[in-house]
Amino acid sequence: MNTVVVGAQWGDEGKGKIIDILSEKTDFVVRYQGGNNAGHTVVKKNGEFILHLVPSGIFHQNVRCVIGNGVVVDPAALLGEIGELKKKGVSVGGRLFVSERAHLILPYHRIYDRLREDKKGFLKIGTTGRGIGPSYGDKAMRSGIRIVDLYDAAVFRDKLRVSLLEKNEIFNKIYGFEGFDFEKIHDEYLGYAKRMKPFVCDTALVLHEAVKKRKSILFEGAQGTHLDVDHGTYPFVTSSSVVAGGAAAGAGVPPTVIDEVIGVVKAYTTRVGEGPFPTEFDETLMNTVRQKGKEFGATTGRPRRCGWFDAILARYSCIVNGISQIAVTKLDVLDDLKEIKIGVGYRYGGKWLRHFPASLAAQTNAEPVYETHPGWLEDTSAIKKFSLLPKNAKRYLRRLSGLLEAPVTILSVGSHENQTLFMRGAKRHGK
């Protein structure tokens, strides 16, 4: 069984925990897009881990982890993450494979990211400043530098020199920024190349052999569907293809090998950074839920914006991803609320909208239409079976399933791996 796990909101849905649990019975976990702007938090017996590039299956010794060609890689971040894992007793030797076709993030990408953000005015998108967008921009402009280029001295020198000629002129003339020194970057990245070499290979061939041998593969998406560059709340999006369809291109496998798509949602909705958010809470409820749910970005520490579950938003994700199972996380965060709302539609321009609109104006100014459900006012964090959940919690989950037209098969009621319920009828991923 080959499965894509994708976020069905704006990211931060708890994919790291779900992937970690599903990885226990899989052979390969593949990260297929994004960069170190995403953070997956996994809580294990030996502590809490925040992963930015290394796939969340790394904690299982039988699992091989792949960083695919669709990821943009900051070598310093990757090597630092590998080092931190080793310090905590998690070895990646012989189990981590990095695509030689993946594009690099260079120092000028990070600076360019921040300089452009400061110039955007009302369209400030809330970038993490990690250089993700500019790296993908160079990739699309066919001027990017790939990992494989580091291992050809002449190619790397030529590509870096040409790139700096352009970037330094832009920095100097448009932003008044001094620019970068060629030799410093050249030597720094050759040092990274030497340290990364044991992990670098043609990962498409690795996965091809895995498919031939009928190994099970779990494809790990970063961010969430509504940050997808094509299907998200553009321009307040990331710079890559987050959706399940991006797994094939970003990993180098044919789409025909994908059997299942699991969509992960929170029991409410959050987003980090700028952009529309129709079901956003008022300030008082925002602070209450943010503190109980520990809603602060794993990568930046920024407080997340919080709101009611938006079924219109999540249903659109089910459509574009082909989601066949739903994993709901953080149900326990709602335990103390007397009433719980679900956004089931929007009103905009005198019309009732039943599907998530593409228009930025509609996304920003639409008035959400809510259903109100009674809360359960009971602690769910220690519950181990669906049958033992409070009656109103069961009703809430069934209503979400009905609105999304997909069964809820996994439920998380806390951050630890043992606070996870598998529902009746769940298709367990694995061998």
Q: Which are the catalytic amino acids?
A: 12, 40
65, amino acid identity: C
- Residue 221 CA neighbour count, 13 Å, CB half: 34
Coil, strand or helix at 334: helix
Element (H, E) at 313: helix 311-321
Cβ-proximal residues to 193 (8 Å cutoff; 6+ apart), any chain: 75, 147, 150, 151
Max Cα distance, the chain (Å): 67
In sequence order, the 6+-apart residues with CB closer than 8 A to the CB of 4 are 219, 221, 244, 247, 258, 260, 261, 262, 321
Cα three-residue angle 34-79-44, rounded to 5 degrees: 75
Backbone angles phi, psi at 376, to 5 degrees: -110, -20
Q: Which two tokens stand for residue 335?
A: 């335990």
* Contact criterion met (CB below 8 Å) for 330 and 412: yes
What would the two tokens of residue 268 be?
Answer: 């409410």
Is the Cα torsion angle 38, 401, 386, 391 positive or negative in sign? positive
